[in-house]
Amino acid sequence: MEVVIVASGQDGGELAARLVLAMAADSPDVVLGLATGGSPLPLYQSLRRAVADGADLSAARGFALDEYVGLPPEHPASYHSVIRREVVEPLGLDPDRVQVPDGMADDIPAACAAYEDAIRSAGGVDVQILGIGTDGHIGFNEPSSSLASRTRIKTLTTQTRHDNARFFRSVDEVPRHCITQGLGTIMDAGRLVLLASGVGKAAAVAAAVEGPVSANCPASVIQLHQHATVIVDEPAASCLEHADYYRETYANKPTWQQF
Ligand code: PGA
């Protein structure tokens, strides 16, 4: 695992964008795993600037990490809406090549299995963008999620519903259930890039990066991934025991190993 400590969330977004753009330059039909929430926004903004400057992501494919159950796709806080507004339209992606789990499906288990099939048929996710919840979730895999889990329905914790209440009129409107890619699904991606900023994420980041691998901190499963990059700003890095080592490592990264 590589931990990169950057001055700001903006810098983190730019770094992650360089990585995504390099992958897209190598294979235009790169499969992106798309996170929602505040953490990936600087990345999407950097990509938007790159696209305005001539980068072409129109052949890229995408799979969102999760979606609320029971929220119509046209609701502004649904991840269908968020992905369309923040990713598909500004980055010039083809909407037919970007999927979000169907939180309105009558048969949720069938919709989850279909989502897994779609990811598999696309050849798997090449680079999975991740945020991290204050409770250590990735996707909506809340504490106690099986480290081997696949796409399925989950119940959101009270903490997550409060964290996400800012996207709704009140916490009472935040759905209780979601469909999320599982931890096993996420771990199948070729690369993982986890973005975190702000002191509110510091404890979760430290548990994920330096704590034991445990379902109690679902993000800690990334310690078992061969190619995980964690990009955090200084406040989010403030609980990391080995922060100086990560800084030294990144400052002395061999040129051939750059993103
Ligand atoms: P945030 O959420 O990026 O909005 O902080 C992250 C998450 O809940 O995974």
What is the average pLDDT across 56-69?
Answer: 98
pLDDT reported for residue 109: 98
Higher per-residue confidence, 238 vs 255: 238
Spatial CA neighbour of 23 closest among 61, 54, 49, 53: 61
The response to whether residue 132 sits with its C-beta less than 6 Å from ligand 1 reads: yes
CA of 47 to the centre of ligand 1 (A): 19
Sign, Cα dihedral of 20, 210, 66, 107: positive
Residue 63 — φ and ψ, nearest 5°? -130, 120
User: Could you tell me the pTM of the whole model?
Assistant: 0.96
pLDDT tens across 136-182, in order? 999 999 999 999 999 999 999 999 999 999 999 999 999 999 999 99
pLDDT reported for residue 259: 64
CA distance 89 to 87: 6
CA distance 215 to 145: 6
What is the average pLDDT across 204-226?
Answer: 98
Q: Which residue out of 163, 181, 193, 232 has the highest number of ligand 1 atoms within 8 Å of its CB and is therefore the one to mutate?
A: 163
How do beta strands 66-68 and 177-180 pair? antiparallel
| pLDDT score of 60 more than 90 | yes
CA of 39 to the centre of ligand 1 (A): 6
pLDDT reported for residue 110: 98
Q: What separation in angstroms does the CA of 178 have from each of 79, 119, 128, 154, 174?
A: 10, 18, 19, 5, 10
Token match 């994920």: residue? 208
CA distance 96 to 16: 24
| pLDDT score of 21 more than 80 | yes
Q: Are 236 and 162 in contact (CB under 8 A)?
A: no
Query: Which residues, 6 or more positions from 247, have their beta carbon under 8 angstroms from its beta carbon?
Result: 5
pLDDT tens across 90-143, in order? 999 999 999 999 999 999 999 999 999 999 999 999 999 999 999 999 999 999
pLDDT reported for residue 14: 98
Catalytic residues: 66, 135, 137, 142
State which ligand 1 atom lies nearest to the alpha carbon of 201: 5
- Torsion angle (degrees, nearest 10) of CA 194, 200, 203, 208: -20
Distance of CA 162 to the CA centre of its chain: 19
What is the average pLDDT across 172-199?
Answer: 98
Whole-number average pLDDT of the chain: 97
Q: Are 135 and 142 in contact (CB under 8 A)?
A: yes
pLDDT band at 73 (very low <50, low <70, confident <90, very high): very high
State which ligand 1 atom lies nearest to the alpha carbon of 36: 3
